[in-house]
C-alpha cells in the first residue's frame, strides 16, 4: 500500500484526507509540527512555503493543506489569514461583522501541496456556501458558521461526517494523481 505523510495538527483535515484517499489505496500518516506560516493573501504561496518547510523537517515526501476563506461582503476577508483569525474571533464576531450586509455568501479554497526532493505539485478546490444566522455544531468559529447544503461544517462534524462528500474534496484530485 502506498502512503503519504500529511503534516497537520487539524484532525478534521486528517480525517478528510483519510476518507478520500482510502479509495485509492493510499495510507495517510500524520506528523504534527508547528510550522510558521508566511503572511500572504495568496493561499498557494502560504501552502507552498509550508510544504517546503515540512519536507525539510520530515525528510520524505509530504503533503500540507491550507484553506483560504473569502467573505465577499467583507471584501474577501479573512482570506489566507484564516488560521489566525479563527483563533482570534468567535462565531459571534463573524456574525457582528456581517450586520448590515445582505450578502452572507462565503467560499473557501482548499489547497494541497505535495513536496518531495524533485517537485512541488499544487491541487486546489473551491466550495461556496453561506454564513449561518447563528453558530451550529462543533469546531472552531468558522466551522460552526460556514453552511453548505443546509448544514454547517460543525453540524456535519457533530454527526461524525465531514464538510463534503470525499469525492468532492481536493484530496480526491490528489489521489488520482498520486496513486
| pLDDT of residue 163 exceeding 70 | no
Phi, psi for residue 145 in degrees, rounded to 5: -115, -30
The answer to whether 35 touches 8, Cβ cutoff 8 Å, is: no
Residue with cell 455544531: 137
Residue 28: which of 6, 7, 9, 12 has the closest Cα?
A: 6
Look at the block and give the residue holding cell 509550508.
50
The predicted-structure confidence for 39-85, as pLDDT tens digits, reads as follows 888 999 999 999 999 999 999 999 999 999 999 999 999 998 888 89
Where do the domains of the chain lie, and which CATH numbers do they carry?
2-178 (3.90.950.10)
pTM of the model: 0.87
Which triple of cell numbers denotes residue 46?
502560504
The grid coordinates of residue 28 equal 495517510
| End-to-end Cα spacing for the chain | 10
> Does residue 64 contact residue 113 with C-beta atoms inside 8 Å?
yes
Closest CA to 12 of 175, 129, 155, 115: 155
Measured CA to CA, the distance from residue 21 to residue 60 in angstroms comes to 19
Confidence of residue 95 (pLDDT cuts 50, 70, 90): very high
Asked if 148 and 96 count as a contact pair (C-beta separation under 8 A), the reply is: no
Count Cβ neighbours within 10 Å for each residue of 131-154 and write b for 16 or more, e otherwise: bbeebbbbbbbbbbbbbbeebbbb
pLDDT tens figures, 117-147? 999 999 999 999 999 999 999 988 988 999 9
Cα 140 from Cα 127, distance rounded (Å): 18
Amino acid at each position: 500500500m502506498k502512503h503519504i505523510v500529511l503534516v497537520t495538527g487539524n484532525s478534521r483535515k486528517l480525517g478528510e484526507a483519510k476518507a478520500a484517499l482510502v479509495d485509492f489505496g493510499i495510507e495517510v500518516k500524520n506528523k504534527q509540527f508547528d510550522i510558521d506560516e508566511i503572511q500572504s493573501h495568496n493561499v498557494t504561496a502560504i501552502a507552498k512555503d509550508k510544504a517546503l518547510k515540512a519536507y525539510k523537517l520530515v525528510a520524505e515526501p509530504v503533503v500540507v493543506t491550507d484553506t483560504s476563506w473569502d467573505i465577499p461582503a467583507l471584501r474577501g476577508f479573512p482570506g489566507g489569514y484564516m488560521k489566525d483569525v479563527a483563533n482570534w474571533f468567535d462565531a459571534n464576531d463573524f456574525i457582528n461583522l456581517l450586520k448590515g450586509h445582505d450578502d452572507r455568501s462565503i467560499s473557501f479554497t482548499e489547497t494541497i501541496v505535495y513536496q518531495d526532493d524533485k517537485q512541488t505539485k499544487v491541487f486546489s478546490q473551491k466550495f461556496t456556501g453561506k454564513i449561518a444566522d447563528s453558530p451550529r455544531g462543533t469546531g472552531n468559529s468558522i466551522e460552526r458558521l460556514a453552511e453548505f447544503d443546509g448544514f454547517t461544517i460543525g453540524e456535519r462534524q457533530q454527526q461524525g461526517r465531514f464538510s463534503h462528500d470525499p469525492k468532492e474534496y481536493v484530496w480526491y484530485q490528489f489521489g488520482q494523481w498520486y496513486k
